[in-house]
Amino acid sequence: MPLSRAQAAKIAHIMDAGFTEYRSQFEHISSGAKQRFEQALWQQVQAIGMRRIDLYGEMVTEVTKRLDLFRSAENLGQEKAREWVAVKLEFEKLTPQRTDPELAETFYNSIFCRTFRHRALREHRMFLFSSTEQAPKVLAQDMYRQYDASQGVVSMVNEILEDYKFSVPYANKRLDVINLVRIIKHNTDFRMAIGAQTRVQILKSIFYRNKGAYLVGQLVNPSHSQPFIIPLLNDETQGIYTDTLITDPDDVSIIFSFTRSYFMVETPVPAAFVGFLQQILPAKPLAEIYTNIGFYKHGKSVFMRDYLHHMDDSDDQFIIAPGIKGMVMSVFTLPSLDIVFKIIKDKFAPPKAMSKAVVKEKYRLVKVHDRVGRMADTQEFKHFAFAKHRFSQELIDELFAVAPSMIHIVDEYVVIEQLYVERRMIPLNIYIDTASDEQLYDVIDEYGNAIKQLAAANIFPGDMLFKNFGVTRHGRVVFYDYDEICYLTECNFRKIPEAMYPEQELASEPWYSVGPYDVFPEEFHVFLAGRPRIAKIFRQIHSDIFDADYWQSLQRDIVDGQVKDVFPYRRNKRFLSSKASV
C-alpha cells in the first residue's frame, strides 16, 4: 500500500524533530566552549570535539529507528524510494520556518541514504541541489559588532577588548592594546585601510579550537575589505591575553585550513554566518567553510554539488594521481579539480599486513582527532558514480587490478563502493626535486615540524617517507598516509643496544629483540637515505627526532595530561615570544 499524504507528513515531521534535537545538542556543545576556555579544561576540549562529530551519525541512526517504529505502528512495510517524492514535498513545507534550512536538507538526505542504502538518488526524492534560494534574513547587528575607526585606533582597540570579555580577566589589557596598536600602525596594508569611512566588523560569536579563542573580523571601507583575526590565549595563572594580530589573508586562510580540527562557535543562522566568512575567505571553498565550523556533513553535500557543477563545466579525464603508488590505497584525480579520490585496495603489497577494517579505523581516527594543521581532513563517500567516459582506460585498468571488489560498471557509469575525498597537494618527494635552496630548507623544516606537532597531539605517523607527506599551496607540509598511524603513547621508543662484537652489526638480522610496538628513532635516518643534502639540513634543525629520549619525554607529558601549544600561525608572529611553543 502506497504512503498516504498523512503518513508522508508524519515521516517528514519525525525527521524534522530529530534534526531539531541534533541541532540543539550541537549548539549546546558549541556554546560550552567559552567556559572550557575560561577554565582551561583542555582535556575536555579534545573529548567534546570527538563527541560533537559522533553526534550526527548517532542522530541519523536514532531517527532511522523512530521511522521503523512508525512503520510498525502503521503496519507499513518498507516504502519504495519513489514514495519519498511525497515525503520530500512535506519536508519542504517545514524548512522555511527554520534558521538552518540548508542543514535540515542535508539531514533529510542522510536519512534517505541510510534508508535506501545510497541508491535511487534522484532530485525529486532528495535534495541533490538545495531548494533554499538564499540565507534566512538576519540583522547585521545580530551577527557582528561594528566599530568606527575614526574614533582613533587606541580607543577602538580598547572598546573591542571591553566587548569581548570573559569570566577570567585579561592578564594585562594595557599591554594587549599596545601590542595590537603597534601591529596596526606598522602594517602598511592595514594602516592604509583605516580611514574616516572605515568600519571594523567582528563576528559576535567567538571561535574556539584547542587552547585558543579567536575574534574574526574585517575592516571595510568604500574601496576594499581587509580580513583579520585576533587570537586569544589563557595562560591559566594570570588570565587572558592577545597572542597576535593576523592580517595577512593567507595567514587567515591557514587558520581555517582543511588540516585543522573543527571550530566550536555558536551559529544560530549558519548560512548568514558562512556568508560573512566567505567575504574574508574568498578563495576558500564554501564546503570547507561549513566543514570548518563543524557542519562536516553539510560540507560534504556542498562539495558534491560543486563537484557536479564542475563536471558539467569541464571535459578532462580522471587519471592516476602523480607520485609513487601506495601499497594500501590507490589514488586518482581530475587535473582541473584540486581533489584526490582514494580507494582501499583489496590486497596490500608486502610488508603491509593490516586489514581493510583497520585502515578504515585509521581514517576514522584522523576524522575525530586533533589534526593540529598536519593531517588532511577527508570525506567518505559510498556508491560514488562517475561518468565512464571521463575515466582514462589506464585508470579503469588500474582500479580493476587493485580493487575489483570495489569497482562496478553500471551502464555508462563507474561506481565505486567506497572512497575518500581529500584536497590535492604536491607530494613532498616531488616538491623537493624542483625546490630552490631556500624552498628546500623551508620545506625540510616544515617536514620536521609536522612530525613534531603530530607527536605533540599524541599521533605517531609510523611511515615517515617523503611520499607520505604533501605540500599545500601555502607551503605547509601535511601528512596524508594514515594506514600506519597510531597513538604516540602506544609506541615503545628504544635506543639500539650496543653490539657485543663487530659481526653482529654486519648481520642481516638485528642482534637485539624487537617487540611489535618497538620504535628505534636512530633508524629514522633511513627516510633520508640517498639524499645527503637533505639529511644535512634535517639533522641541523631537527636532530632531536633521532633521539629516543625526545620521544619518551613527549610521552610522559601526554600521560601527565599536558596538552601542548600548537599554534595555527608562525611562532615569530606572536607578541609574547617567550611563551612555550612547539
Catalytic residues, by residue number, are: 377
Helix (H, G, I), strand (E, B) or coil at 365: helix
Residue pair 231/285 in contact (Cβ under 8 Å)? The answer is: no
Question: Position 357: which residue type?
Answer: A
Three cell numbers written together for 238: 594570570
Instruction: Note whether 545 and 444 are within 8 A (CB).
Output: no
Bridge partners for 469 per DSSP: 479
Q: Using CA of residue 367, residue 359, residue 297, residue 469, what is the dihedral sign?
A: positive
Q: How far out from the chain centre does Cα 165 lie?
A: 28
User: Computed over its alpha carbons, how large is the radius of gyration of the chain?
Assistant: 26
Rounded Cα distance, 302 and 285, in Å: 9
- Residue 314 CA to residue 470 CA, distance in Å, equals 26
Q: Which of 8, 160, 174, 172 minimizes the C-alpha distance to 80?
A: 8
Burial grade of 326 (CB within 10 A; 0-12, 13-18, 19 or more): buried
Q: Cβ contacts of residue 364 below 8 Å, gap of 6+?
A: none
CA atoms within 13 A on the CB side of 217: 23
Terminal CA-CA length for the chain: 64
Q: Roughly what angle, to the nearest 10 degrees, separates helices 296-313 and 101-116?
A: 80
HSE on the CB side for 45, CA within 13 Å?
27
CA proximity to 413, closest of 392, 385, 393: 385
Secondary structure (3-state) at 537: helix
- Per DSSP, the three-state class of 304 is helix
Question: 260 near 209, Cβ under 8 Å?
Answer: yes
